Every structure is written in C-alpha cells, then in structure tokens.
Amino acid sequence: MAAALVLSLVYSSLIVSSSAELQMLQHSIKDDGSLSLLVVGDWGRKGAYNQTHVAAQMGKIGKELNIDFVVSTGDNFYDNGLTGITDGAFEDSFTSIYTAESLQKRWYSVLGNHDYRGDVLAQLSPVLQGVDSRWLCLRSFVLNAEIVDFFFVDTTPFVDHYWTNPEGHHYDWREVTPPQTYISTLLKDLDSALEASRATWKVVVGHHTIRSVSIHGDTKELHTSLLPVLKAHGVDLYVNGHDHCLEHISSNDSPIQYLTSGGGSKSWRGVFNPSSDELRFFYDGQGFMSLQLTKTEAAVVFYDAFGSVLHRWRVTKELHSSI
C-alpha cells in the first residue's frame, strides 16, 4: 500500500495544470529544438504475429533517430486487456518485448477497444510504473512538448455498438457512464484545450480511425462528433491504430492528415475500401511510424517489420505545402 501511494504521488507530480479539464503533461525537446518519436499500435500479443520483429526494428530506428518517446495508439494487450495490475501479460507483451536501449523512454498510451474488455483501471494504474517505469496510460490528456501539443483522446466510448451490441464481450465501462455525459464533457474539454494551445503543431492521438481504407473503415461516430472539433482548431495530424495496417490519407477539405499506425503485431486483413479523401499510402501489414518535428517542419516515415522505408511525407509550416 505504501509503495502504491508513493508511485501515485510520483505519477501525480508529472501532471501540471491546464486551462481545460484534461490533464496536461510536459516533455522537453532536444537542445536543437527538434523532437523525434515512434508510433505503434495494436501490439500486445506476447511476441506473436511478428510483434518481436517490429519491436527489433523499432529499436534500430529509435536509435538512428534518437527518439524522445514512443506513442501507443491502443489495443495494448490482446485479446481482452489486462486482468489486473499483477497480470503477467504486461511484462510478457511489453517489458520483455521492447528491450532495445533506444526504447527505454516514456511510452504515452491510450486505450483501445480490446483494452476495454479487461480491467481498464489496471492499465491506468500508476502501480504499473513500478513494474516498468516507461509506462504511462491515461484516458485522455494533453502532452506539451513546446513546439507541439499532443491531444490523446479516449475514443472507445464514442462507438455505439460496443454499448448496444457487444457481441458477447464484456466492456469495463467504470468511470465513463453515462456515455452521453462522458463524451460531451470530453469534447468540451478537448475544444478548450485546442483553443488554448499555442504550439506550432497540433497532433490528436486516438485509437479508432476517422479515415481508413481497411477492414474497420471510417468510424462514423468520430466523423459526427470529434472531427468537427479537430477541423475548427486547425489540427495538423490525427494519429490512430485500430485497423491493423499502415495508412496515410489526406483530407480533401482541411489540412488534417490521417495517419494509421496499427501494425504492431497481427495484420494482413486483405481488405481495401476506397476513401473519398486522398489516399497517399496503404500497407496491409505489420510495421510502425516515426514522426520528426521542428518548429517549421514535420516529417513522417512508415516502416515495415524488416525496417524498410515504405512511405515518406513532409510538410513545411510556413509554406503550408507538402512533398
């Protein structure tokens, strides 16, 4: 109990006040004003389905880029989240897999729908930081890194059929009921946080897709409620998992780039459905993504499970154009 209290206090010390209700965390950038990170999603399978191969390549690319942290886009532990804070799956799927020196950085994580099938409060518990100090998972929060604000959004409660037709699965809805109130409050807080942001770049991270050409496709609830908020505040990137693939889709009516990094383990769904927005890249396989930022430039690279570069994209802020 005493150890848990100490960990809770340490965890709380990471949080600073925000103009909105969302908790705000801080992460420093490099001395040259840049920031580098990796993004991976849908990974927690105790090394199976090429998870270990993806992890090894993440370690190599992480070293090359001298990354500052890692972002996880959810579905962190399959098939049904964690059973509790002592569940060995945490170490078997996380600590024992991402062992490269370059990956011993903070992991900022959101929950996915599979995580909601287990003990959600376990994944959110600061006690897990005593098992692996890299781990940090909250429902929704803001991460400020001077030149960029990352807005992590808990998207699972938005999806109607998890509530109305769970298909035999149990979802841990503690602390998010009633859903209408939870979603309304979250959207209000996100709107306030985006309005208050003075960072050059605005990146929103969620588990579910807004735009996707793979098996899950677009998430209609996010189109209706979340997307208008992102467009209203000039969000640059929406980064997600959920579909087990790698994607880059450009919005036809806003600057938003939709980036799917959900290839952390099981993949190869064999589904392609055209998008009404511009599809720049799609890979129906395992891999991950890197993001490098300066005050004037953002660069995205997608890699496969062998570390090969599959797609590059770059945008310059002053010119508002991409290559």
Yes or no: say if 140 and 120 are a contact pair by the CB < 8 Å rule: no
Yes or no: say if 69 and 37 are a contact pair by the CB < 8 Å rule: yes
The residue to which tokens 């090894």 are assigned: 56
Residues in the chain: 323
> Quick count: other Cβ atoms within 10 Å of Cβ 22?
21
Q: Give which of 90, 220, 201 is closest to 155, Cα–Cα.
A: 220
Yes or no: say if 130 and 3 are a contact pair by the CB < 8 Å rule: yes
27 is in an annotated binding site: no
- The catalytic residue positions are 216
169 is in an annotated binding site: no
113 is in an annotated binding site: yes
- Which helix (H) or strand (E) is 193 found in, with range? helix 179-196
78 is in an annotated binding site: yes
114 is in an annotated binding site: no
3-state secondary structure of 240: strand
- Distance in angstroms (rounded) separating the CA atoms of residues 25 and 53: 31
- What are the backbone dihedrals phi and psi of residue 234, each rounded to the nearest 5 degrees, phi first? 65, 40
207 is in an annotated binding site: yes
3-state secondary structure of 91: helix
Which tokens belong to 84?
A: 């509790």
Binding-site positions for Fe cation read 42, 75, 78, 113, 207, 242, 244
Residues at the binding site are 42, 75, 78, 113, 207, 242, 244
